[in-house]
């Protein structure tokens, strides 16, 4: 759509701007403030320059948390994206199965995050949980409270349970937009199932899939509540991801300068990722505009 150039638009945006300035910009400036200052208490602050940043970027604790965070996000994407595509491909396209699938699959997405944690905390317990009890019955020494590997597996399975449906729903939205004529043409050409997927379904899903991947990456990158409830970051520090570490530092230890420096580094990473996300979204939007424009001209 052609938009008219009109600076009156600013009046419409003003309420949002005021609200977000209050709820985002001011707090963020507080963080910047703390990140360059040090204190001996009593609200007396003095200039510390880039000290906190240097300390942070050389600290083993931050490196470990960052590494765990990237590993976690990578594993999540590697499992959820193929699984999500697979389920979306197998979902029914018409009939009573469609609303049933949509509603039940969306259910985990609407559960409060701490309840997701609680569900899996209970579910994985050896004494009272179905999963823990079954695994124990099979002779496996499963204990997510004690064993770091078990804790990781529990959290990853929990996240797959929680968020794969997002990938499924987005891919499904892309798949149902493919006209039936495409499949007919493929059948006439004698295309194999793989060829149909590779050359018809995947290109049509391309845009929604990118959005799904980016959203999953961003959200898994700032995961806090679910692992906090299940493992509390333990055993040891084995499931302490960036957000958990940051909250521990800021509110647990009240280590303001360091926490603020970490917040800013964390935020810069997110900013970079958001920029990638935005570019992809707007480019995809432009493609969509061109595609519909072409059809209109035909």
Partner 1 sequence: MTEVAESVAGRMPAASRTRRMAGGPRLRRLVPALYIAFLLVPIYWLVNMSLKTNEEIVSIFSIWPKHPTLANYMVIFTDPSWYSGYINSIIYVVMNMAISVTVALPAAYAFSRYRFLGDKHLFFWLLTNRMAPPAVFALPFFQLYSAVGLFDTHIAVALAHCLFNVPLAVWILEGFMSGVPKEIDETAYIDGYSFPRFFVKIFMPLIASGIGVAAFFCFMFSWVELLLSRTLTSVDAKPIAATMTRTVSASGLDWGVLAAAGVLTIVPGALVIWFVRNYIAKGFALGRV
Contact positions with partner 1 (CB under 8 A) in 157-216 = 161, 164-166, 168-170, 172-174, 187-194, 196, 208, 211-212, 215
Instruction: List the beta bridge partners of residue 37.
Output: 47
SS3 47: strand
Residues 231-290 that bind partner 1 (CB under 8 A): 242-244, 246-247, 250-251, 256, 259, 263, 266-267, 270-271, 273-275, 277-278, 281, 284-285
Tell which one of 6, 42, 43, 60 touches partner 1 (CB under 8 A). Answer: 6
Number of residues that bind partner 1 (CB under 8 A): 111
The verdict on 155 binding partner 1 (CB under 8 A) reads no
**Phi and psi at residue 45, in whole multiples of 5°?**
-115, 150
- Contacts with 150 (C-beta within 8 Å, 6 or more apart), sequence order: 142, 143, 144
Tell which one of 48, 61, 86, 235 touches partner 1 (CB under 8 A). Answer: 86
Distance of closest approach, residue 12 Cβ to partner 1, in angstroms = 4
The verdict on 30 binding partner 1 (CB under 8 A) reads yes
CA-to-CA separations, 116 to 80, 222, 226, in angstroms, rounded: 17, 16, 6
Q: Which residue has the tokens 């199965």?
A: 97
Give the residue among 51, 24, 27, 55 at the shortest CA–CA distance from 37.
51
CB atoms within 10 A of CB 206: 13
Tell which one of 42, 47, 60, 99 touches partner 1 (CB under 8 A). Answer: 99
Tell which one of 65, 87, 151, 261 touches partner 1 (CB under 8 A). Answer: 87
Q: Which residue has the tokens 């317990």?
A: 125
Distance of closest approach, residue 81 Cβ to partner 1, in angstroms = 14
Q: Which helix (H) or strand (E) holds 283?
A: helix 256-297
DSSP 110: G
Give the residue with the Cβ less far from partner 1, 152 or 162: 162
The verdict on 36 binding partner 1 (CB under 8 A) reads no
CA distance 206 to 95: 26
CA distance 129 to 152: 17
Distance of closest approach, residue 4 Cβ to partner 1, in angstroms = 6
Q: Would you give the binding string for partner 1 spanning residues 113-142, x where CB under 8 A is met?
A: xxx--xxxxxx---xxxxx-x---------
Taking CB under 8 A as the binding criterion, the range among 42-50, 53-61, 73-81, 83-91 that sits at the site for partner 1 is 83-91
């Amino acid at each position: 759509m052609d938009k008219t150039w009109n600076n009156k638009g600013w009046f419409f945006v003003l309420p949002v701007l005021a609200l977000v300035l209050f709820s985002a910009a001011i707090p963020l400036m507080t963080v910047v403030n703390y990140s360059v200052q040090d204190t001996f208490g009593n609200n007396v602050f003095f200039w510390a320059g880039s000290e906190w940043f240097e300390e942070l970027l050389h600290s083993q604790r931050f490196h470990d948390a960052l590494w765990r965070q990237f590993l976690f996000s990578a594993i999540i994407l590697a499992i959820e994206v193929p699984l999500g595509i697979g389920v979306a491909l197998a979902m029914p396209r018409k009939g009573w199965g469609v609303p049933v699938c949509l509603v039940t699959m969306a259910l985990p997405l609407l559960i409060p995050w701490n309840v997701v944690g609680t569900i899996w905390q209970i579910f994985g317990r050896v004494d009272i949980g179905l999963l823990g009890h079954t695994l124990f019955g099979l002779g496996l020494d499963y204990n997510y409270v004690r064993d770091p590997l078990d804790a990781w597996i529990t959290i990853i399975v929990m996240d797959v349970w929680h968020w794969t449906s997002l990938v499924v729903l987005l891919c499904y939205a892309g798949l149902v937009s493919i006209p039936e004529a495409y499949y007919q043409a493929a059948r006439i050409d004698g295309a194999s199932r793989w060829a149909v997927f590779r050359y018809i379904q995947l290109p049509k899903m391309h845009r929604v899939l990118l959005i799904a991947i980016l959203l999953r990456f961003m959200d898994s990158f700032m995961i806090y509540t679910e692992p906090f409830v299940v493992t509390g970051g333990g055993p040891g520090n084995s499931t302490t991801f960036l957000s958990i570490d940051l909250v521990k530092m800021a509110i647990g230890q009240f280590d303001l300068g360091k926490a603020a420096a970490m917040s800013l580094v964390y935020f810069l990473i997110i900013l970079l990722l958001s920029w990638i996300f935005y570019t992809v979204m707007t480019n995809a939007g432009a493609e969509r505009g061109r595609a519909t424009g072409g059809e209109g001209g035909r």
